[in-house]
């Protein structure tokens, strides 16, 4: 492996170690059993939480702020494309140009969504009050990483910057708000488990 590959491996090791520490802290916390009588299926609640419950119409906040929801979807799709790029670039000679180009465009569009999100945090008073320095830094870092990812596919000279930003993004995950990509799955699981048991949510039920 070359120097950049080792850099990414080292950054990934920081990510895994940091998230592993978060998991260890989370899993040793008390989690008393729910002693109330189950009136519905916890499993159906979990299934709902990870499927239908993630649709924009499933909760009021996304129904009322559909554009913000779509912007978030585009941003996170761009992030997926950005992290796919280190796997594609070493094999660029064998990757169909249409596929590589589509991944690069998705990363670029994701970066645009991130920049629009930053602008909204600055321009909207309520978002500005709720935002922390980490919010601005995390979204700015990831947006820059996505710009570099899109550029690296077409411009070999941009690859050093791309690998550097990719490593920085990976290494920062356990320390900033980006770690919500890890906690998200825990929160959805326990949400579905608790409210599915109580019959509030569940796959196949009608919710408003």
How confident is the model over 10-57, as pLDDT tens digits?
Answer: 999 999 999 999 889 888 888 777 777 888 888 888 998 998 888 888
Does residue 28 belong to any structural domain of this protein?
no
In the chain, the number of structural domains is 1
Does residue 17 belong to any structural domain of this protein?
yes
Does residue 82 belong to any structural domain of this protein?
yes
Question: Residue-wise over 139-177: b if at least 16 C-beta within 10 A, else e?
Answer: bebbbbbbbbbbbbbeeeebbebbbbbbbebbbbbbebe
- pLDDT of 164 strictly over 90: yes
Does residue 206 belong to any structural domain of this protein?
no
Does residue 30 belong to any structural domain of this protein?
no
What percent of the chain has pLDDT above 70? 97
Q: How far is residue 47 CA from its own chain's centroid? A: 20
Rounded to whole angstroms, the Cα distance separating 107 from 120 reads: 20
Highest mean pLDDT pick, 115-124, 138-147, 192-201: 138-147
- Residue 208 has a pLDDT of 44
- For residue 166, give the CATH number of its domain: 1.20.950.20
Does residue 80 belong to any structural domain of this protein?
yes
Does residue 32 belong to any structural domain of this protein?
no
- Residue 63 has a pLDDT of 78
pTM: 0.84
Parent domain of 108: 3-21+40-197
């Amino acid at each position: 492996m070359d120097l950049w590959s080792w850099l990414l491996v080292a950054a990934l090791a920081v990510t895994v170690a940091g998230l592993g520490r978060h998991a260890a802290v989370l899993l040793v916390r008390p989690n008393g059993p729910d002693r109330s009588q189950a009136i519905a299926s916890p499993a159906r609640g979990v299934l709902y939480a990870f499927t239908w419950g993630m649709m924009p119409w499933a909760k009021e906040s996304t129904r009322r702020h559909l554009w913000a929801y779509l912007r978030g979807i585009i941003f996170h799709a761009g992030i997926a494309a950005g992290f796919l790029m280190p796997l594609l670039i070493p094999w660029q000679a064998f990757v169909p140009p249409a596929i590589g180009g589509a991944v690069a465009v998705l990363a670029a569009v994701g970066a645009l969504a991130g920049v629009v999100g930053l602008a909204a945090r600055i321009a909207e008073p309520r978002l500005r009050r709720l935002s922390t320095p980490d919010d601005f830094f995390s979204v700015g870092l990831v947006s820059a990483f996505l710009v570099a990812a899109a550029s690296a596919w077409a411009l070999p000279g941009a690859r050093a910057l791309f690998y550097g930003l990719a490593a920085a993004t990976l290494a920062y995950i356990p320390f900033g708000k980006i770690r919500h990509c890890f906690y998200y799955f825990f929160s959805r699981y326990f949400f579905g488990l608790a409210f599915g048991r109580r019959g509030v949510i569940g796959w196949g039920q009608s919710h408003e």
